[in-house]
């Protein structure tokens, strides 16, 4: 059969202007090609196969500037959520060992309790490798062709996979999903790429990080600084503007206060200037306070950059596909997941203005596949997506921050319920509770629909997950106050909220059972 695209070329007809219903069945090698083997891309590929589609997944990891590389599964599995949570758990276990003495456990003296970094990273990496293997087996069993090559467009329906050895594989697909995600941004300063690491490297670092400078105070920077400090490695954070930009700033302050009290140092309004490697092998970092114009410097064993991420779209040759709607950061701009080219879509972190969260990418990918191959109509709802920052004292939230709610509805139309509380597990030993705090942002008019819930405290992720479903269903303060809590838990504190900021009353807890 003469290839339809070749005929169109001879006739001078543009493929991008051709209506989809005129395409000949069987023209393409695949019904769907997914560029990117992360959570969103894999979820879309698997669902498409469930609906009878022929699917290929192209995935290739370009090593980080420090040479770190990993297997199939994307950021979450390899250098994101999973290893981060495991490191966080290791830090919590270290704290628990010290606290066990107050509960009667006989443990070695404090100076004998220390982390074995090599054993920790080996355990983490062994788990990741097992997930990589299971993922590959799953693709094979589902008859999804996995191509370990760097994908790019040759034309709107043709992809080229550049393999590790430089050879190229060409394939055609009726539909294409861009799910390449992003990688850490490196600031344009001397020594950044030469001597610094990022979250791509920290979870498999071959040596203990020692005294560490973390550049950036987003959730990645704070999570890394938090677990490093709790594992016994001195951590300093450079904060360019505000911590946890985009999150509720009162809660962000609670987080940084807690971290400071645990020993993490913060330099506010500071940006990095240079990183120099000394003869000793240590790194001299210099920074500038953008307000006072004062310069600071110190010597560290490790400098970890957490200054944001950029989308991996530049390597895709999107111009050849006709995809032209990109933001300044290189992300795909789309009202749903469909680009300006009807058969080309994007899911996950590569989309502009969408939550950069694994479950978001997974759900969006599945719904997209159902719309493409099963006649589905459900679109991804990006509102009221819950998330958690896994700092030593966790922060979980769903819905609007107090700042965003104020901008949308006006302060006079809001009621903010809040409280400090004392977790039962903090009674023995007597732990600091100054930053155990929660609030509900609601409309003032009855029945006071809840716009946002925010919680700082133990197991915040587990707490906020259940309430996220309630917020999604239109939770009101009346319903929340009529919910009977489980005692004694920290989650029940949401059902006990009765003091508003407007009232000016003391939000500190009276007792555990009142």
End-to-end CA distance of the chain: 79
Tell me the pairing of strands 265-268 and 235-239. Answer: parallel
Please give the Cα distance from 97 to 505 (Å, whole number): 38
Angle (CA) 148 306 304, round 5°: 90
CB 36 within 8 A of CB 62: no
Tell me the pairing of strands 302-305 and 212-215. Answer: parallel
- The upper half-sphere exposure of residue 461, i.e. CA atoms within 13 Å in the direction of its Cβ, equals 12
Please give the Cα distance from 331 to 328 (Å, whole number): 7
- Element of type H or E holding 229: helix 219-230
Helices marked H in 100-218: 117-141, 192-195, 199-202
- Element of type H or E holding 477: helix 477-481
3, 98, 207, 487: the active-site residue:
487
- Structure tokens given for 173: 């697909």
User: Quick check: is 487 catalytic?
Assistant: yes
Return phi, psi of residue 125, to 5°: -70, -35
Q: Is 389 helix (H, G, I), strand (E, B) or coil?
A: strand
Please give the Cα distance from 336 to 118 (Å, whole number): 44
List, in order, residues 6 or more apart from 133 with CB less than 8 Å away.
none
Please give the Cα distance from 292 to 389 (Å, whole number): 30
Please give the Cα distance from 151 to 316 (Å, whole number): 7
Q: How many CB atoms lie within 10 A of CB 418?
A: 17
DSSP assignment string, 62-81: PPPTT-----TTHHHHHHSH
With 0-12 / 13-18 / 19 or more C-beta atoms within 10 angstroms meaning exposed / middle / buried, residue 174 is buried
CB 40 within 8 A of CB 362: yes
CB 288 within 8 A of CB 161: no
Catalytic residues: 487
């Amino acid at each position: 059969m003469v290839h339809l695209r070749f005929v169109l070329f001879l006739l001078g007809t543009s493929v991008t202007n051709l209506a989809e219903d005129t395409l000949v069945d069987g023209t393409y090698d695949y019904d769907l090609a997914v560029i990117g083997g992360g959570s969103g891309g894999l979820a879309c590929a698997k669902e498409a196969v469930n609906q009878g589609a022929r699917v290929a997944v192209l995935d290739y990891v370009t090593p980080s500037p420090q040479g770190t590389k990993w297997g199939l599964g994307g950021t979450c599995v390899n250098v994101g959520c999973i290893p981060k949570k495991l490191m966080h758990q290791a830090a919590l276990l270290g704290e628990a060992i010290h606290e066990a003495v107050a509960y009667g456990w006989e443990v070695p003296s404090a100076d004998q309790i220390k982390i074995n970094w090599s054993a920790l990273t080996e355990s983490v990496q062994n788990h990741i490798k097992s997930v990589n293997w299971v993922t590959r087996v799953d693709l094979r069993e589902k008859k999804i062709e996995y191509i370990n090559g760097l994908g790019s467009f040759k034309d709107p329906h043709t992809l080229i996979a550049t393999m590790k050895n430089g050879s190229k594989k060409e394939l055609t697909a009726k539909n294409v999903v861009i799910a390449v995600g992003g990688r850490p941004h490196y600031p344009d300063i001397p020594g950044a790429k030469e001597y610094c690491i990022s979250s791509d490297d920290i979870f498999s670092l071959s040596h203990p990080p020692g005294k560490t400078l973390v550049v950036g105070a987003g959730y990645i920077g704070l999570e890394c600084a938090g677990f490093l400090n709790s594992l016994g490695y001195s951590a300093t954070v450079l904060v360019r503007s505000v911590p946890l930009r985009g999150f509720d700033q009162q809660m962000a302050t609670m987080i940084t206060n807690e971290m400071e009290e645990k020993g993490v140092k913060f330099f506010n309004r500071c940006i990095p200037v240079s990183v120099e490697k000394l003869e000793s092998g240590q790194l001299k970092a210099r920074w500038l306070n953008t307000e006072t114009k004062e310069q600071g410097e110190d010597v560290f064993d490790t400098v970890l950059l957490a200054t944001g991420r950029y989308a991996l779209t530049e390597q895709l040759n999107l111009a050849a596909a006709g995809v032209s709607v990109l933001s300044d950061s290189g992300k795909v701009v789309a009202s749903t997941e469909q680009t300006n080219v009807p058969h080309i879509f994007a899911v996950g972190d590569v989309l502009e203005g969408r939550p950069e969260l694994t479950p978001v990418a997974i759900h969006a990918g599945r719904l997209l596949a159902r719309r493409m191959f099963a006649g589905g109509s459900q679109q991804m709802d990006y509102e009221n997506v819950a998330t958690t920052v896994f700092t030593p004292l966790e922060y979980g939230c769903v819905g609007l921050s107090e700042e965003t709610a104020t901008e949308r509805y006006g302060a006079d139309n809001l009621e903010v319920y809040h409280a400090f509380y004392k977790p039962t597990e903090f009674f023995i030993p007597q732990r600091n509770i100054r930053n155990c705090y929660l609030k509900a942002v609601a409309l003032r008019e009855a029945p006071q629909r809840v716009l946002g819930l925010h919680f700082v405290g133990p197991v915040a992720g587990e707490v906020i997950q259940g309430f996220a479903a309630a917020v999604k269903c239109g939770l009101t303060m009346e319903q929340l106050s009529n919910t009977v809590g489980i005692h004694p838990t920290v989650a029940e504190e949401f059902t006990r909220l009765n003091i508003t900021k407007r009232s000016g009353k003391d939000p500190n807890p009276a007792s555990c059972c009142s």
